[in-house]
A and B are shown apart, each in its own frame.
Chain A
Amino acid sequence: MHGLCGGDLRCLLSLWETPLKNKTILLEHGSGGLASQELISRLFLTHLGNPVLSSLEDSAIIETSIGRLAFSTDSYTVDPIFFPGGDIGLLAVHGTINDIAMRGARPLCLSLGVILEEGLLISDLENVVLSIKEASEKAGVPVVTGDTKVVPKGKGDKVFINTSGIGIVPDGINISVKEARPGDIIMLSGTIADHGVAILTRRAGISIQGDLKSDTMALHRLVQLLVETLPEAVHTLRDPTRGGIATAFNEIAKTAGVGMDIEESKIPIRPEVEAACELLGLDPLYLASEGKFLALIAPEYAAQALDMIRLQPEGRDAAIIGKVTKDPSGRVVLKTAVGGARLVESLSGEPLPRIC
C-alpha cells in the first residue's frame, strides 16, 4: 500500500460517524490524498490491519531467517497511457522499484500483472512492454513472474498494470517514516510536479511553451549510493507521487509526531512547470513527481549527502528545503517565497484548475 498514513485526525473522526454502507467509491478515493487515506484506514486496515501493514510505509519489511526483505505492490492506471516523458510501462517499473528503495532496500525482482481492455491495439501494448523491458534492464531489476487478463470493452481503460517487487534491506539500515526526528534536514532530490503537470496539461489538451515532461525514473541506485556511503545519515525516505510533496510532508509529520519548517524559495521547480501551474491555477506542492525523493537526513551529514546526490544524474537539482522540528507536532509550516508563513495540508479532492 502506497503513500498513506493516519491522515487528518479531525477528518477521520468526523467520518467515523458516517456509516460506510450507503457510500460509493468516488474518483477521489484514488487521489492519494485524504480520501484515499480514509478508505484505507477505515476499510482495509479495519479488516486486514497487522503491525506491518498498518505502518503504511512505501514498502513492508519482513524479517526472515536469511535477512530482512522489502516487499511492495502498486497498481497503475493512467490516462493517457503514453505521455510526454514516458508511458504506463515505465511508470509501473519505476514506481515499484522506488517504493522498495524508499526503505533503503536493494530491489531484486518484479512481478507484472496486466489487465487489458478488449480492443486495445496490440502495437500499443507492445510499446508498453518494450518500455517495461527498457526500464527493467536499465534498472537491473528483472520481471520474473507475470499474469495477463482481458476484460470486455468498456469494463477497463486500455491497460491497467500491477507490479510487485522484492528487495533486500542491507544490515544496519533502518529507514522508516517513524525514524524522522527533530533537527533532521529535509532534502529533495530534484524538481517537483513534473509528472503531474505533464499529465494534467496533456489531459486538458493544453499546449504550453517549453518542454513539459514526466520525470519518471528509478531512484534505487541513488538511494543505494547514499545508504552505502553514509549508512547513518538517512532516517526517512519518501517519494512524493500522488498528492505531491505537501501530502508526503504531512504523512511523515503526522506518523512521526514531528513538525516541519519548509522554505518555499528553496523548493526546486522548473520554470515551465511553475508557469503552467500559474496558468492553470494549480498548486505544484500537490502535484506528483515520479522520479524524486524526500530524504530526512541527520544534520551532521547533510552537506556531504547533498554534495553526493548532486553529483549523480538523478539528483542534479537536489536541494535542502527545510528541517524537521519538534513543534507544532504533526504540522507543516511553509515560509513562503515572499516572506509570509502558512500551513500546508494534505491533498483533499483532486487537484483541479481554477474556473475564473
Chain B
Amino acid sequence: MRHLCEFRDRGLTISLATELDRIVDRPIRFMEVCGTHTMAIFRHGLRSLLPEDLHLISGPGCPVCVTPTGHIDAFIRIACMPGVTVATFGDLVRVPGTNGSLARARSQGARIEVVYSPIDALNLAEQRPKDLVVFPAIGFEATIPGVAATILEARRRKIQNFAVFPAHKLMPPALEALMSQSCFEIQGLLCPGHVSTIIGANAYRFLSMRYYLPCVIAGFEPADIIQALILLTRQVRYGRAEVENAYPRAVRWEGNARAQGLMQEVFEPVDSEWRGMGIIPRSGLAIQPGFSEFDITKRLDIEIPQVQGPKGCRCGEILIGQCMPSDCPLFATVCTPLDPVGPCMVSAEGTCAAYYRYGRHH
C-alpha cells in the first residue's frame, strides 16, 4: 500500500489546500456523490482546510441510504420467514424500516448473519443446506459485478438454497435525474472513485455535454480529493465543463470491460425507486429471466410496496443536496447513531452520521 502514503502526505496536502484557497474567488457549490468521499473528507478533517467559500454538498452515494423503506420492510419480512437466513452487509442491519430493523428482528429470533461479501453468503448457503440463504444486494456499480459473479458461481456449484434480493442502483441515471430538476444548483461534481473503476470516466460525459457540468473523478486520499477540487474550481473559473480523471491509477476512460460484461450477463436495467427521488427510469437492476431461480422476489413472489419513509426524517432531501443534516429538527436530538430515525444516521457513509460524528463543531 505504498501508493497510499504519498497521497496522504502532509506537505502535499497543505500545499494543494493553499492552491485551492488561492483560486476559489467566489462562492462555489460542488457535490460529492459518493459516501466514501463524504466520510474521507470528514475523517481527515479536510473541511477545516477548505476555503470558506467552497461548499461541499453530499449526494445520493450512500448505498444503504438510497434504498427505500419499502425494500427495507421487504428484507425484514423475508428474514422473519421460517427456514430463511438473511446474509447481509452489516450496514443494513440497523436501518429502520416501518416497524423496526433487521437488528430488531434478529433480537426476536430472525436468522440474520453479517457477511462481508456476496460470496460469503453463498458459502453460508453451502454450509446450511436446510436454510434458504438470501442476500439483499444493495449498492452501486462497484458492488454489482461481485454479485453477478456470485450468482454464476452458485449455478456452477449447483447451490439451490441461495437467492439474491436485487436492489442495486445505477449511478448515471440518478445523476441525470438530479440534473434535470430545475432547483438543482451545483457547479461541479466530485465523481466517485470505486464506481468509476467499473463504469469508466466516459460514463459522465453526458453530464458535461448535456448539462454543462464540470465532472472530476477523484480517489479517496486527502491529496486526491483536494486535487480534484482544484480541477473542478479551475473549470468553473475558466468556464469549462469537461470530464477529468484525477484518479488515473485506478480509473480508465472505458472502465472495466470484464466487470461490465458480468453485470450484463446476469442483470438487466429496470425502473427503480430511490429514497428521496422516487422512481427513476432504468436506474436499478433486475435479475435476467435465465437466472430467475436466484431471484428471491420471483421465488417467493415478493411485492415491494412504495411506503413513506420514517416520519419527520429528511434523508430524502439530504440525499439530493436540498438540505443539510442541521436542517432536520430531529438531528442530534431525537435522531442519533444510537437511536437512528433514518438511514442517513445509520450507515458509516450516511451524511447525517458523518455530520454527527465529525462535523458538529463547525
Contact = CB atoms under 8 A, between A and B. Distances in A.
Interface of A: 8, 10-11, 14-15, 18, 24-28, 34-35, 38, 204-206, 265, 271, 274-275, 278, 280-281, 283, 328, 331, 334-343, 345, 348-350, 352-356
B348 A340 contact: no
A338 B14 contact: yes
Contact of B13 (A24, A339, A341, A345): A339
B63 A342 contact: no
Contact size class for B? Answer: 35 or more
Interface stretch (B139-147, B150-158, B264-272, B309-317): B139-147
B348 A352 contact: yes
Contacts of B108: 24
15 contacts: A15-B339, A204-B116, A283-B43, A336-B43, A336-B44, A338-B13, A341-B48, A342-B45, A342-B358, A348-B336, A349-B346, A350-B90, A353-B90, A355-B64, A356-B34
B349 A354 contact: yes
Contacts of A350: 90
Contacts of B349: 354-356
B284 interface: no
Given A26-B103, A271-B1, A337-B10, 4 more contacts: A24-B104, A278-B1, A340-B49, A355-B91
Of the candidates A337, A338, A343, the one having the most CB atoms from chain B within 10 angstroms of its own CB is A338
A126 to B, nearest CB: 26
B116 A331 contact: no
Nearest to B1: A275
A15 B340 CA distance: 11
A18 B335 CA distance: 12
A327 to B, nearest CB: 11
Interface in B81-113: 89-91, 94, 103-104, 106-108
A338 B222 contact: yes
B177 interface: no
B252 interface: no
Counting from the closest, the 4 A-B pairs by CB-CB distance are A340-B45, A348-B337, A352-B90, A342-B45
Nearest to A13: B333
B49 A34 contact: no
Nearest to B334: A14
A28 B94 CA distance: 10
Contacts of A26: 103-104, 106-107
B336 A355 contact: no
B212 interface: no
B143 A24 contact: no
A205 to B, nearest CB: 7
Contact of A355 (B4, B14, B139, B337): B139
A262 B338 CA distance: 25
A339 B358 contact: no
Contacts of B299: none
A354 B36 contact: yes
Contact of B36 (A25, A283, A356): A356
Given A275-B1, A278-B4, A338 B103 contact: no
A331 B120 CA distance: 39
A278 B346 CA distance: 20
B205 interface: no
A26 B114 CA distance: 14
B195 A34 contact: no
Contacts of B17: 339
B48 A355 contact: no
Contacts of A14: 333-334, 336, 338-339
B332 interface: yes
Nearest to B34: A356
A288 B237 CA distance: 47
B47 interface: yes
B253 interface: no
Contact of A340 (B47, B116, B361): B47
B222 A343 contact: no
B338 A15 contact: yes
A353 B116 contact: yes
A254 to B, nearest CB: 15
Nearest to B4: A278
Contacts of B1: 271, 274-275, 278
A343 B348 contact: no
Nearest to B335: A14
Nearest to B11: A339
A346 to B, nearest CB: 9
B188 interface: no
A10 B333 CA distance: 7
Contacts of B336: 8, 10-11, 14, 34, 348
B42 A342 contact: yes
A34 B336 CA distance: 10
A334 B140 contact: no
A343 B360 contact: yes
A204 B120 CA distance: 8
B35 interface: yes
A349 B337 contact: yes
B71 interface: no
A343 B63 contact: no
Of the candidates A206, A274, A342, the one having the most CB atoms from chain B within 10 angstroms of its own CB is A342
A261 B349 CA distance: 25
Contacts of B36: 281, 354, 356
Contacts of A265: 10
B332 A10 contact: yes
A34 B338 contact: yes
Contacts of B138: 355
B116 A205 contact: yes
B8 interface: yes
Given A339-B49, A341-B45, A355-B138, A205 B339 contact: no
Nearest to B115: A204
Contacts of B337: 11, 34, 348-349
A340 B90 contact: no
A345 B8 CA distance: 23
A338 B94 contact: no
B46 interface: yes
Nearest to B346: A349
B10 A355 contact: no
B275 interface: no
Nearest to B94: A349
B35 A356 contact: yes
